[in-house]
Every structure is written in C-alpha cells, then in structure tokens.
Amino acid sequence: MRAEIEGRETDRREAREALRASEVAISAASRELLAREAEAREARAAIGELGARRREQERALEAQQAALGRLLAARAIMRLSGDAPASTGGAPDFVRVALSGEDLADAARRLQYLAYVSRAAARALDAHRGGLAELAALGRNSEAKAAELAEIEARGRAEREQLLKERRERRRVLERIAAEMRDANKRMQALVADANRLSRLIEEIDKLLQARPGAGFRRAPSARRGTADTPGEALAAPFSALKGRLRTPVRGELAGRFGAQQAGLAGYGKGVFIRTAEGERVRAIAPGQVVYADWMRGFGNLLIVDHGEGFLSIYGNNESLLKQAGDPVTLGEPLAVAGQSGGNEQTGLYFELRHLGKPFDPLGWVNFK
C-alpha cells in the first residue's frame, strides 16, 4: 500500500529519500538499544541475586566455623582431662579406667558424649566443605554474569554510537532539505501533498478494514464496559464511550490546534501538535492494534493504531517507532519515541484522531492537562 501511494507522487527528491533511510535506521537502532537495556537490567538483577545468595552463604559459613570451633574445643578439653588420650584417637582407655577404679557408668556417659561430639564435628566439617564449594560456585556464576553484563553494555555502547552517527547523518540531510524547501510556495505545495498522502493512506486502511470482516480491532466479549464513575474500567469500554477520558499520548505543551495551520507540519490543521522534549515516550491512548508503522514523507516515522468502531489514532514526527504493524497495544503502552522526523521543523508529536477516515478535534476526547 505504501508503494502504491508513493508511486502516485512525482516529486521524489534525493534528499527526502536519504532522510527516510536515515530516520528508519534511527528507529531500528533505538529498538535494538531498548532491547539491550532490557538485557542489561536482567543481568544486573541476576548479579544482585547472586550477590545476595553469596552474602547469605558467607554468613552461614561464619556460623558453621563458630560451631565447628566450639566442637573442636570441647574435644580438646576432653583430651586434656584424660578422657580421650591422643593415642586412642579420642576413645577412652578402658584398661586405665578399670585399673583406676573410676565409675564405669560415668565413663560410659563420657564416652557417649565424646562420640556425639565427634559425630557432630564430622557433620560440621562436611557442611563447611559443602558451603565452601557452593560459595566458590556462586563466585564463578557472579563472574560469568559480570562478563555477560560487560558484553551487553559493550553492545549497547556500540548501538548508541550507531544511533548518534545516524542522527548526525540525519542533521546533514535535514540541512539539504531545508535548502531545497526555502521557497515558501514550494513548501506549501509539499505540505498539501503530504497531507493528501496521509488522507489517501487512511482511506486505503478504512477500505481494507471494512472489506475484511473481523479485520478491525475487537475487545474480548467478556470485557466489562467502563463508565464515567468507574474510570478504571475504561480499558474495557469501546472507544466511542471514552470521549473526554482519554489520556494525552505524551507529556508536553499543546502548540498547534485542530483546524489551524501549523507551520512546518504536514497535517495542515487536521490534528494537533504537542511540543515535547526529544526522547519522550509516546503512549497508546487506548487499547488497539497497530495497522501502520513506517516512514512517510512529511510525517517521518508514522504509526497508526486501530481502536475498533472505525476509530484510528495517528502519531507522527517520531524519532523512533517501538511497535510494528500487527502488534496489539494496551492502554498507556509505549508506541514510539518523540522527536523530529520527516523534515519537520519542530520537536514533538503530531497527533490525529479519525473516525471512518474523517479527522475530528482531539480536544473533546483527550485530556491535555
């Protein structure tokens, strides 16, 4: 569909094609970097868990050492008292006991106690050896996880460098585009052409959704509908019931309003522009399914979500797209990273709402406070 739409355009400037390649690469690098960050968080969590187990094992070994010391001291005291001569390896000298006239019952009790002490000492030694082996294994695991984390962070640094490189290339391309588009008349013609291109895309999407029963987004039949008194259930309500309760897709300042010409933006008043910092996460205003996620001339990295009932939400001017066509999305889930793409002059999010292909004012539906 994208190839068909772009095939109708006669103006294919080299700089715009270069911009597309650069911004698509930035989007891909951002997704890779996001994956590396998730891997790094998992590795750090594993290292933290291994460290906690290692500290616990060290405390257990200290307790074992103390107990072992007490048992060995008890054995040494019995040897010194003559109850366990070294020559007998800890067993009483029965001949000496019998000739000395000592009480044999008392000697038997001491013998039993000494045997208990000896067995306890043997068990403590075995446990201590096992604890030392486990501690060594935990140390090896910690070193392996640390090496894995170092490798992940190295890949992350390389991906960040690639991202910075792509951004530098993008700036150079933008400078070339700016030089091409300084003429006001050419700029206006390009904006109108870009807006028409998006409208044609929306028309094609609507035709496909209407022509294919079941193709549009549907909620589970068991989902409960939300009401104004139960906003927590808005997730389950149809989109038409969410008017006035939708969250803003990104934090920022409402800079361009519906119906007003917005300088440097392709939408030409069919949506709103939210000025925000580069890198802010753009989030889904309601559950749905991504039906378009690609670069489009004039809108840069563009993402469209189908919410069912013929309602679409449109997110343009993104630095990066975090979702792809066909992906399901939930309320508040990150969709993209805000920025400046498609040759637009401002940093932020271009946002539209459409029903059956027709744009309508988001201010009556989305809370921009």
This prediction has a pTM of 0.56
Torsional sign, CA 179, 352, 359, 296:
positive
3-state secondary structure (DSSP) of residue 135: helix
Q: Which of 11-20, 56-65, 223-232 ranks highest by mean pLDDT?
A: 56-65
Q: Tokens representing 18?
A: 């270069």
Q: Residue-wise over 144-182: b if at least 16 C-beta within 10 A, else e?
A: ebeebbeebbebbeebeebbeebbebbeebbeebeebbe
Token pair 């991202």: residue = 163
- The pLDDT value recorded for residue 223 is 42
Task: Round to whole Å and give the CA distance between 186 and 194.
Answer: 12
85 vs 161, higher pLDDT: 161
Q: What are the residues whose beta carbons fall under 8 Å from the beta carbon of 138, sequence distance 6 or more?
A: 50, 53, 54, 57
Mean pLDDT (whole number) for 241-253: 91
CB of 347 closer than 8 Å to CB of 339: yes
Q: How far apart are CA 257 and CA 156, in angstroms?
A: 39
3-class DSSP state of 233: helix
Q: How does 36-48 read in b/e, with b if 16+ C-beta sit within 10 Å? A: beebbeebeebbe
pLDDT digit string, tens, across residues 312-359: 999 999 999 999 999 999 999 999 999 988 777 789 999 999 998 899
Residue 123, pLDDT score: 72
Asked if the model's pLDDT at residue 282 lies above 90, the reply is: yes
Kindly report the length of the chain. 369
